[in-house]
Amino acid sequence: MQLAYLIVLILMCGFCSRLQTISNHTVQRGSDVTLRCDVPLLSESSTLQWIKDTGQTSNTTLVYNNSAYIILHNVDDHSEGIYYCKMIENGSVDTVINHTINVTTYAEGKKHTLYRQSSSHSDLLLIFKSKTNYQRLVWTWESARHSKTELIAVEKGGEVQVKGPIKLGQKITTTYNGQCFLLHISPVKFNYNGIYRSFPDSNKSPYTSTILHTIRVSAEPSGVVLRNQSVILTCEVSDVSDSVTLVWLRMEGNITVQVKQANNKTLLTVHVSSFQSDLLDWQCAVFTENTLRAVASFGSILSTTDAAVLSKAGKITVVIVVMLFAGVLLGVLVYYTYRKQTPVSEESEPVYMNISKTMNDRGIFFYLLINMGLGSTVCSYQFDLNVAHS
C-alpha cells in the first residue's frame, strides 16, 4: 500500500514539474522589456527558444547559464501578446513558461532607460502618443558633453523641421497629427548617449523622457589581422550611473560560454592570444541587476561581405596551403620536363632554343597557375576585420 502511494506521489511530482508558469506584465509604451526563462539543468542536446503567439519573434535573444532571455525593443501595440519559452529535447517540445504582455496606451510623465549598440545597423525609436491634441511638438537631446539641443520641431499638419546634429532615420513621422509622433534615429553612434525629451506645445515639463546608453565592441588591431595573430576585444558602455555588469561570451556550438566578466565597470577587454575562433562567435552582454539589457555582437558592425570572409577564414587557410603545395609540385614537374627535352651540347657552341616552344611551355605553366587560383594566394593569407569605430 505504501508503495502505491509512493508511485502516485512520484507521478504527481512529475506532472507538476511539467506545468508551465504563467506571468502577466503591463509595460510602458516605448520601453524595452526583458523576459527570462530558467531551467535548472539544460543538457547539450536541449535548446531553449522564445516564440510569440503570432509566430517566431525577431527580437534579441540569448541563452546563457541555463537561462533564455528575450529583449523586446520599444514595445507598442504590436508587442502585445503571449510569449512562450519552449524547451526542445530529443524531438519533444515543452513549454517552460509563458508571459502575457500588455502595453500602456500612453506614457505621459514616464521615464525609461534604453541600451543600444553603436553600429551601422542599429536604430532607436522614440514614441510620443497622447490622448490630448497638441498644436506643436519639440524633441530635445541632452548629454554630459552637450547642453540641451533641439532635435526637431513640428507644427500640427506641418513638415518636420530638423535642427539637431543627430542623424535621423527613414521611419520618422513625416506629418504630425497632434497626438502621435515617432522619432527615428539611425544609425546610432556611440556619442548619441544622453536624455531625449518630448515637449508638447509650450509645456515646461516633458511628456516623455528616455535615457539612452550606447555600447560598442571593437578589436585591436582593427585593420588586417593574420589568422594566428593575437587580438584584444573591447566592450564599452557610455556613462552609466546604474550598477552594470559586462560579460564577454563565446559560442561553442549551441552552448554560450562565459569568458570574462566585470562588475560596476564601463569597459571590459579580453585578450585572445591566438585568433583561432571566428569573431562572429563573440558577443558582449550588458546586465543591470541581473536583467539583460543588451547584446552587442561583431556581426552588427561587419558588412555582409566581411562577415562571409570571417566565417570562411579557416577554410581559406586550408585551401591556401593545399594550393601552395600543388603549385610547388607543378613547378618542379614542369622544370624537370623542360630540362629533359633540352639537349645539352658538349661543345661550347651557343645553343639556339625553340623560342615558340619555350613560350608555349611557360604559357601552359602560368595557365595552370591561374586556373588553380595561385595568382591571388598572397592576398588570401590575410582578411580584413573592418571593425567600425564610431
CATH 1.10.287.620 fits 215-300, yes or no: no
What is the pLDDT at residue 190?
Answer: 95
Residues 6+ apart with CB under 8 A from 66: 38, 39, 40, 41, 42
What is the pLDDT at residue 290?
Answer: 86
Per-residue pLDDT reduced to its tens digit, 299-337: 766 543 344 444 444 444 444 544 665 666 776 676 666
What pLDDT band is residue 343 in, cutting at 50, 70 and 90? low
Angle at which helix 304-311 crosses helix 313-341, to 10 degrees, equals 70
Mean per-residue pLDDT for 218-239? 80
| SS3 (DSSP) at 81 | strand
Has residue 178 got a pLDDT over 90? yes
Ranges of each domain in the chain = 23-103, 110-213, 215-300, 310-344+352-384
- Please tell me which residue, 163 or 18, carries the higher pLDDT value: 163
Q: Which of 132-141, 222-231, 322-331, 363-372 has the lowest mean pLDDT?
A: 363-372
Q: What percent of the chain has pLDDT over 90?
A: 42
What is the pLDDT at residue 269?
Answer: 95
What is the pLDDT at residue 352?
Answer: 38
Q: Which of 37-51, 81-95, 280-294, 318-332 has the lowest mean pLDDT?
A: 318-332
Kind plus residue range of the DSSP H or E element containing 37: strand 33-38
Has residue 355 got a pLDDT over 70? no
The three cell numbers of residue 143 are: 548629454
What is the pLDDT at residue 103?
Answer: 95
CATH number attached to the domain at 110-213: 2.60.40.10
What is the pLDDT at residue 30?
Answer: 92
The three cell numbers of residue 290 are: 541581473
CATH number attached to the domain at 23-103: 2.60.40.10
Per-residue pLDDT reduced to its tens digit, 260-287: 999 988 999 998 876 555 677 889 999 9
Q: Where are the alpha helices (DSSP H) in the chain?
A: 2-17, 304-311, 313-341, 355-372, 377-380
What is the pLDDT at residue 198?
Answer: 96
Mean per-residue pLDDT for 63-85? 91
Domains 23-103 and 215-300 equal at CATH topology level: yes
What pLDDT band is residue 115 in, cutting at 50, 70 and 90? very high
What pLDDT band is residue 347 in, cutting at 50, 70 and 90? very low
Helix count and strand count (H, E) for the chain: 5, 24
What is the pLDDT at residue 220?
Answer: 87
Mean per-residue pLDDT for 240-259? 85
What is the pLDDT at residue 48?
Answer: 85
Q: Which of 170-184, 238-252, 335-349 has the lowest mean pLDDT?
A: 335-349
Mean pLDDT score of the chain, rounded to an integer? 76
Mean per-residue pLDDT for 341-350? 46
- Please tell me which residue, 290 or 367, carries the higher pLDDT value: 290
User: Please, are residues 152 and 140 in contact by the beta-carbon 8 Å criterion?
Assistant: no
